[in-house]
Structure 1
Amino acid sequence: MKTFASIKNTSRTGMHAALLALILLSTLLVGCGSLPTIVPDMDTQSARSIEMKGGRGILSEQQTKAVLDKLKQQNGDSTLLDRHLAVEGAVTGSPLVTGNKVTLLIDGPATYASMTQAIQAARYHINMETYIMEDDEVGRQFSDMLIAMQKKGVQVNLMYDSVGALNTPRAFFQPMIDAGVKVLEFNPLNPTQVRKDWEVNQRDHRKLLVVDGKTAFVGGINISSVYSAGSFSKRKSRKRDADSKEVPWRDTQVRVDGPVALEFQKLFIDTWNKQRGPDLGEHNYFPKVAAAGGEIVRAIGSSPDDPYSVIYATFISAIHHAESSIYLTNAYFVPDPQLRDALKNAAKRGVDVRLVLPSTSDSSLVLYASRSFYQELLEAGIRIYERQDALLHSKTAIIDGVWSTVGSTNLDWRSFVFNQEINAVILSPQFGAQMKNMFDRDLGASKEITLKEWEQRPVSERMKEFGASVWARLL
């Protein structure tokens, strides 16, 4: 059953009446959404059969072998790397691309600084896709910057989600439009403004920036002043209401320089064209891109229009084949039965499974729905931690120290069935070590939830969890 999107990150003053009307209206929309059944048989392919792409196109078998041999020399346990390369190569979708440099960006300040540098260095085109772009200090800074680059002759194309930007006045975008920036509202809520079918339940949750086809940013960070502060302050903040902008937001982004940026470019342009946006013009959006590093990266996008979510299939397959560790950090954790079973089975076979989840959220319904699964997971031997002193919004995973992903995808039904999402998968022990260090920092700022403690929680909390769990598939 499709229902109207649960509104995340948009709980601001004046929203409630409008949202209530939209939610009531959306109950008239009926449809079906399902997830694919993933069987753990992906290891039938060998690493030698993997097709890999570089800056000049598909690599030969000999070139691919050279890349993989070099990667294995850098990794102490090549067996784990072999397995995850085979699994990733077996999942259909975009290609594995070599020759990339990947930079891990923790929280808003580091991300915005790197995005600003890339935007100001642009020479030809800038494509930005975001769920939220707020009319606040950060939003205005990016607006001014995009206008300045457009006036310099760089073509700027901006796509934002109609629900995500529900609180942003449409007048905010007008100066950009007047300057020549091409602006596209994804699936407008106003039915008189739709360019295709009115699909109010399908939202664009992606956070993507592609500059000149050679640099891409992807992760969980929107354009908003809630990201103005870092979340690892040494000074412990007092507990505040989750809606307060004083609460630091904990999030993660990656910057990828190299040929895989073209794969992210394809995803942007495909969505733009499906939304019937303005003609993007002749701007050589797919130039030749030289290698910038040695990392293997896959750009994965999912859409409700697809037969199934490739991101979901990738997650499940990687978890099925984990041998030593699964470390997940996720803001909205409402797992379906197959994902829960995959995690429990991994713990049963001796894999160290740990989850870092929010202790507070901008969606209390999602928070309690998430907690409704704690008992089941804790009993299976999965360790759960709740991040303190920050609002966790990050969506990352590191498996066996070699398979990593950063993106916009939450581990919930909405992300896998109803949303446009985007992730980068990085196959690298070096980048995996950076991800593990970041995960450890989050663990250090988190409180572990033990089974004994959880069984002693108040009845009132259990009732909230049960009530929220009823809506789990619709969140």
Structure 2
Amino acid sequence: MQRVRKLRRPSRGPRHERPPRSHRNELGWHWTFVALGIAMLLGAYFWYVSARILQEPVRLHYGPEDPAFPAAVGPLLGAEFTGGNSVELLLNGDGFFPPMLAAIRSAKKTITLETYIWAPGRISDEFIAALAERAEAGVKVHVMLDGMGTLKFTDEDKGRLTGAGVEVVKYGRQHWYEIKPNINHRTHRKILVIDGRIGFTGGMCVDDSWLGNADQPDRWRETQVHVEGPAVRQMQAIFAQNWLQTTGRLLLGQDYFPEFERAGQTTAQCFSSGPGEGAESARMSYMLAIASARRSIDIEHAYFVPDEYAVRMLLEARQRGVRIRVIVPAHNDSRFGRAASRSRWDELLRAGVEFYRYEPAMLHAKTMCVDDTFVTVGSVNFDNRSFSINDEVALNVIDPTLGRAHRRMFEHDLQQSTRYTWEEHAARPAYVKLADWFCGLFRSQL
């Protein structure tokens, strides 16, 4: 009987034993602390380099209805308040897309359009068709897009516009090989001007998410303004400035800047804000309005992330007895942004500022009304990115009639919102508080 020899497997070298679990846990905690340390350093860096030009509290001894208010605010923002305007609030896609498209189709001489987001879809096709038809009819059509916001904008859609004679440029550079010095600087403006006489601005972009009437969770609740009168000349000048910076060409003449005619009784100004022009104008506009408040401040904002200065201004308004109500999104496109926003509410809730979370749809409106008299609508978010980093545009209006219209809009949205109390805020789980604090470190870039 033969013995079966047992084959020995070839040696694979020394075995590497896994480190003990306790050691692995120590390594895990080590890298966790390293990551948190890096995050804190980045947060401190972003806070340090963020613009902080306006630091001293603004204190006014008059309200927004006093003639001294527009007399002071106009020169500071580089855009005088003018009379003779007509201003109308337009709500949601069903409210603003039809008049905007109708205005485009009525154009006789010029169309200027600046926007942040443009994505393929139904509303994109409608805008392309309307703009292309006017360009083919001989109207001068200029479209300016932000490079980051239009990453989904296709070459095919651009070709449909340029093939019809529409001039389409990317803000800050016309060609891919041109270097944009500050890639964090974007144009967040939303401007449409027809024949230099009809203007629209607000938070709307060319994207199907803005369709409808804010009746679906994946659609935006939005506010635009339709403007006629001398304030449209200011709006056109704001577009022309970015057009000059990008193309090196001026838009001149009666086709762009016709003699203005009185269109109504409203006093208004349209101003620009951005690092290269009107630095901190958006912040000044909001802070001056808050300082003027004597009775009420109603804020409805997609991204409400006040810095220490803005918090202080709001707290001083509360000390004057001003009622402050803030509507924010219950859900939107940025959990990070919502967490950073919550990190700023503690003192405000303690002081009696009322917070409400809008439920039916994603909230994208950017409005504030003071004493039912001063109304601001535009592309400006209540955060550092809009106040200091991006190019923005806003229309400021002094008109009790529009103030009452804003209040009706605001009250309607309140009915569809849930009150967020100090007790609820204080009772957040520890992990939510930690997440809010962490996201708040980056608020200077939001």
Which amino acid is 1:382 matched to? V
1:332 maps to 2:317: no
SS state of the match for residue 419, structure 2?
A: strand
Percent identity over the alignment is 31
2-side partners of 1:113 and 1:79: how far apart?
A: 33
Deviations along 1:266-322, one digit per CA (max 9) or x if unpaired, are 110011001125665766311112111110110011111136221211110110121
TM-score (norm 1): 0.80
Whether the 8 Å CA contact 2:118–2:153 is kept in 1: the answer is yes
1:156 maps to 2:141: yes
In the alignment, which of 369, 388, 396 is matched to residue 367 of structure 2? Answer: 396
Which amino acid is 1:364 matched to? R
The aligned residue for residue 440 of structure 1 is 411
Deviations along 1:144-195, one digit per CA (max 9) or x if unpaired, are 110001111111100010000012223321121121111111135985144x
The aligned residue for residue 471 of structure 1 is 442
1:254 maps to 2:239: no
Which amino acid is 2:263 matched to? A
1:96 maps to 2:81: yes
CA shift at 1:460, angstroms? 2.2
1:70-469 paired onto structure 2 within 5 Å: 80-82=65-67, 84-89=69-74, 91-187=76-172, 192-194=177-179, 197-231=180-214, 233=215, 247-276=218-247, 280=251, 284-306=255-277, 308-469=279-440
Whether the 8 Å CA contact 1:42–1:87 is kept in 2: the answer is no
- Structure number, greater radius of gyration: 2
Structure 2 unaligned residues grouped into runs of 5+: 1-42
SS state of the match for residue 422, structure 1?
A: strand
Q: 1:429 to 1:452 in 2, by over 3 A?
A: same
1:36 maps to 2:7: no
2-side partners of 1:193 and 1:211: how far apart?
A: 30
Which amino acid is 1:176 matched to? L
Higher mean alpha-carbon deviation, 277-286 vs 85-94, is at 277-286
Which amino acid is 1:452 matched to? E
Higher mean alpha-carbon deviation, 427-436 vs 35-44, is at 35-44
CA shift at 1:374, angstroms? 1.9
Q: 1:388 to 1:132 in 2, by over 3 A?
A: same
Deviations along 1:15-56, one digit per CA (max 9) or x if unpaired, are xxxxxxxxxxxx9x9994313226566758x9xxxxxxxxxx
Deviations along 1:319-367, one digit per CA (max 9) or x if unpaired, are 0121000111111111111111101111122100111011112011111
CA shift at 1:91, angstroms? 2.7
TM-score (norm 2): 0.85
CA shift at 1:470, angstroms? 1.2
Deviations along 1:175-229, one digit per CA (max 9) or x if unpaired, are 21121111111135985144xx432111000010000011110100001111111
Q: 1:188 to 1:367 in 2, by over 3 A?
A: farther
The aligned residue for residue 4 of structure 2 is none
1:4-83 paired onto structure 2 within 5 Å: 32-37=49-54, 39=56, 43=60, 80-82=65-67
Deviations along 1:416-475, one digit per CA (max 9) or x if unpaired, are 111010000000001100011111111111111111122112222112101101111122
SS state of the match for residue 91, structure 1?
A: helix
Higher mean alpha-carbon deviation, 278-287 vs 248-257, is at 278-287
Whether the 8 Å CA contact 1:33–1:417 is kept in 2: the answer is yes
Which amino acid is 1:35 matched to? R
1-side partners of 2:84 and 2:60: how far apart?
A: 25
1-side partners of 2:286 and 2:64: how far apart?
A: 19
Q: How many residues align?
A: 403
Q: 1:32 to 1:129 in 2, by over 3 A?
A: same
Q: 1:79 to 1:153 in 2, by over 3 A?
A: closer
2-side partners of 1:190 and 1:184: how far apart?
A: 9
The aligned residue for residue 7 of structure 1 is none
2-side partners of 1:343 and 1:285: how far apart?
A: 40
2-side partners of 1:214 and 1:90: how far apart?
A: 23
Which amino acid is 1:184 matched to? V
2-side partners of 1:369 and 1:390: how far apart?
A: 20
Whether the 8 Å CA contact 1:326–1:352 is kept in 2: the answer is yes
Structure 1 unaligned residues grouped into runs of 5+: 1-26, 47-77, 238-245
SS state of the match for residue 287, structure 1?
A: coil
Which amino acid is 1:227 matched to? W
2-side partners of 1:179 and 1:193: how far apart?
A: 26
The aligned residue for residue 22 of structure 1 is none
2-side partners of 1:273 and 1:189: how far apart?
A: 12
Computed over aligned residues only, the root mean square deviation of the Cα atoms, in angstroms, reads: 2.4
SS state of the match for residue 275, structure 1?
A: helix
- Post-superposition, which runs of at least 4 consecutive aligned residues in structure 1 deviate over 3 A? 29-33, 38-44, 78-87, 187-191, 277-283
2-side partners of 1:150 and 1:329: how far apart?
A: 37
Q: 1:295 to 1:358 in 2, by over 3 A?
A: same
Which amino acid is 2:352 matched to? G
Q: 1:282 to 1:99 in 2, by over 3 A?
A: closer
